């Protein structure tokens, strides 16, 4: 009887598992069919022409990047269903540039509620394109429910700036605070051996100090002041305020809020940071008043960036000669890797393919990287040098960050261009080795054995670091630093001593780097492309964007996600809302990202060119 009962329960459990499996499979296939159907419907629908008198709507979602990375579908679930959130800077700039001279475009509308950020220099480059758009005499209108600092910096370029009456403008200046682990590591008995050259090379300090060093404090203060000056002056010029007035509001925010009885929106209006308050329906009415109504859907006469670029691209004439732009975005690592990092072998192969393509007359290397593997950095730089020797001009264009290994790569170019707010320099080198001998001893775990030479087993983290191995590591680091100085000196027409005076791991703004001779010109990507065209002696050309090849599955997934993003943007424009990821999800993502970066460190010589820096 008991056996029969167990058999009955087992059969019921098996039936439940089968039913659950059937439901899961059914849901999966239904989702796949829905996704493919949405993709087909999206790509096969007829593209309407650009209506006369339309407004180009600039509504950045998530991060503005140089190159969109393929996001895993589960990232959408972690973010609570929010859009994946990556928009290419080049697409936004190209759309604004085309709209300037397009007689069908009557105005530019900016809505920043879904913008997360993207680096000061990228936002500044987009602002510059919008400033150029304004020379056409067409109005620029912007609104936000509330403004973070990045959102406000972009929106402040508008002729007319709206804010929700319950919103705020969060201008807070710039800061850099690190987390230091030395005391915790000491309590655990963990030793971190650091080998470096350059007193400003601060990457290893969180593991060896309990606070910021004087050198890092000095360098960080100068860097942040330079970046804040760019942001403050741009905001002041657009809002017709003095830089001192912007500083006074930021530094005196408590008094400003006290004067407005705690009403942050009113404080922003009183400071001249916004023009007026509006609700969503009032904003829509204002746009209809300025632009007009679409007769088909009773909405404002508008077009989004993605659809506008598709239509403009169909209308554009092709050219036989081309300029290639290769984007180096992310940490520099060794080997072959997909997009999201700058893999040495992958990029060497990509540069080689450009060099061997006779239709490509010049190469622009767009760098947005804080560095990484010294080995991979040199591999990429050498391929750029070979491209120059083959007779094709190479221009380095620095985005938000092009420091340490990113600068090493740039040294392979004929010219280096940077934005005033680019974070660059950090010419230095370091290596780190963790030692866990003491924690193992405390746990009663012994490590013993034999070796045939001093370095055999010397870099075993279970054992105390051998002094011979430590000396060998430091000598290698010093040699690597001398190579870095010599490489930059040859590229910049300087002596190694002159480079050393502005190197030693110190980070500079693009504007400061230009004054120090580390950068040739200040300007964005288009200025770098123009410089490449001049060197190649061509006037009519097409810009192409070579990328590492993706698998069929990756391409399909990317198209599905782009279709979903475009549909999401359209819905957002109609509904005027959007969801935000929760705080816990953001923390989890940050921890995963940090762990992922460390796991990618794979230089075969364990030497790294990294600045531990990011653009605000």
Q: Give the catalytic positions in this structure.
A: 201, 404
Whole-number Å distance between alpha carbons of 383 and 354 = 10
Cβ neighbours for 527, distance < 8 A, ≥ 6 positions apart = 417, 521
What are the CB-based long-range contacts (under 8 Å, 24+) for 276-280? 276/160, 276/161, 276/162, 276/163, 277/162, 277/163, 277/164, 277/165, 278/143, 278/162, 278/163, 278/164, 278/165, 279/164, 279/165, 280/576
The 8-class DSSP code of residue 454 comes to T
Helix (H, G, I), strand (E, B) or coil at 350: helix
Whole-number Å distance between alpha carbons of 293 and 454 = 80
Going from the C-alpha of 257 to that of each of 168, 253, 530, the distances in angstroms are: 11, 6, 47
Sign, CA torsion 212/213/215/218: positive
Give the burial string for 106-139 (b: 16+ CB within 10 Å, else e).
Answer: bbbbbbbbbbbbbbbbbbbbbbbbbeebbeeebb
Whole-number Å distance between alpha carbons of 400 and 374 = 20
Going from the C-alpha of 533 to that of each of 322, 528, 538, the distances in angstroms are: 9, 9, 5
Cβ neighbours for 542, distance < 8 A, ≥ 6 positions apart = 318, 319, 321, 322, 323
Helix (H, G, I), strand (E, B) or coil at 36: helix
Going from the C-alpha of 35 to that of each of 32, 553, 555, the distances in angstroms are: 5, 14, 14
Query: What are the beta bridge partners of residue 431?
Result: 195
Give the burial string for 227-241 (b: 16+ CB within 10 Å, else e).
Answer: bbebbbebbbebbeb
Alpha helices, DSSP H, located in 516-551: 525-536
Going from the C-alpha of 90 to that of each of 262, 464, 543, 560, 602, the distances in angstroms are: 40, 50, 11, 21, 31
- Chain-centre distance for alpha carbon 302: 28
Angle ∠(198,203,209) on CA atoms, nearest 5: 95
Which single residue is written with the structure tokens 């319950």? 166
């Amino acid at each position: 009887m008991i056996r029969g009962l167990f058999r009955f329960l087992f059969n019921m459990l098996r039936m439940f598992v089968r039913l659950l499996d059937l439901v899961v499979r059914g849901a999966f296939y239904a989702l796949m069919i829905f996704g493919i159907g949405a993709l087909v419907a999206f790509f096969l629908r007829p593209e309407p022409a650009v209506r006369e008198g339309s407004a180009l709507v600039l509504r950045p979602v998530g991060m503005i990047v140089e190159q969109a990375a393929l996001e895993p579908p589960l990232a959408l679930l972690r973010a609570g269903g929010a859009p994946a959130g990556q928009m290419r800077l080049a697409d936004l700039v190209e759309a604004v540039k085309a709209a300037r001279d397009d007689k069908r475009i009557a105005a530019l509308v900016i809505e920043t509620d879904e913008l997360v950020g993207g680096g000061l220099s990228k936002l500044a480059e987009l602002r510059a394109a919008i400033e150029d758009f304004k020379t056409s005499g067409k109005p620029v209108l912007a609104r936000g429910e509330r403004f973070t600092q990045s959102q406000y910096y972009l929106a402040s370029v508008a002729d007319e700036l709206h804010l929700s009456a319950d919103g705020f403008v969060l201008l807070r200046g710039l800061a850099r605070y690190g987390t230091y682990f030395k005391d915790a590591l000491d309590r655990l008995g963990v030793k971190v051996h650091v080998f470096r050259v350059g007193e400003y090379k601060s990457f290893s300090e969180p593991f060896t100090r309990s606070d910021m060093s004087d050198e890092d404090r000095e360098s960080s203060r100068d860097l942040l002041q330079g970046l804040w000056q760019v942001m403050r002056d741009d905001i002041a010029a657009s809002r017709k305020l003095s830089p001192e007035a912007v500083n006074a509001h930021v530094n005196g925010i408590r008094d400003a809020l006290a004067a407005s009885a705690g009403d942050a929106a009113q404080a922003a209006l009183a400071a001249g940071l916004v023009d007026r308050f509006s609700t969503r329906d009032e904003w829509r009415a204002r746009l209809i008043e300025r632009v007009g109504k679409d007769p088909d859907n009773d909405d404002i006469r508008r077009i989004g960036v993605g659809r506008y670029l598709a239509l403009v691209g169909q209308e554009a004439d092709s050219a036989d000669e081309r300029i290639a732009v290769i984007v180096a975005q992310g940490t520099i690592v060794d080997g072959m890797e997909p997009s999201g990092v700058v893999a040495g072998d992958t990029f060497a192969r990509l540069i080689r393919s450009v060099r061997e393509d006779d239709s490509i007359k010049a190469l622009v290397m767009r760098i947005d990287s804080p560095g990484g593997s010294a080995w991979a950095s040199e591999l990429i730089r050498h391929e750029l040098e070979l491209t120059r020797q083959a007779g094709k001009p190479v221009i380095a264009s620095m985005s938000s960050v092009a420091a340490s290994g990113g600068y090493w790569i740039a040294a392979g170019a004929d010219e280096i261009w940077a934005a005033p707010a680019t974070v660059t320099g950090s010419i230095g080198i370091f290596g780190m080795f963790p030692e866990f001998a003491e924690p193992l001893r405390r746990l009663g775990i012994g490590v013993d054995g034999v070796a045939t030479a001093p370095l055999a087993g010397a870099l075993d983290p279970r054992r105390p670091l051998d002094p011979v191995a430590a000396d060998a590591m430091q000598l290698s680091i010093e040699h690597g630093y001398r190579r870095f100085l010599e490489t930059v000196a040859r590229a910049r027409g300087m002596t190694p001593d002159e480079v050393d005076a502005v190197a030693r791991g110190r980070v500079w703004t693009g504007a400061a780097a230009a004054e120090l001779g580390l950068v040739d010109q200040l300007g964005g990507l288009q200025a770098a492309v123009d410089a490449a065209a001049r060197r190649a002696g061509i006037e009519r050309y097409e810009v192409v964007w070579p990328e590492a090849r993706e698998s069929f599955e990756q391409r399909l997934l990317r198209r599905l996600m782009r279709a979903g993003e475009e549909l999401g943007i359209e819905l957002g424009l109609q509904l005027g809302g959007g969801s935000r990821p929760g705080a816990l999800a953001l923390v989890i993502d940050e921890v995963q990202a940090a762990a992922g970066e460390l796991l990618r460190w794979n230089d075969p010589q364990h030497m790294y060119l990294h600045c531990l820096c990011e653009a605000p």
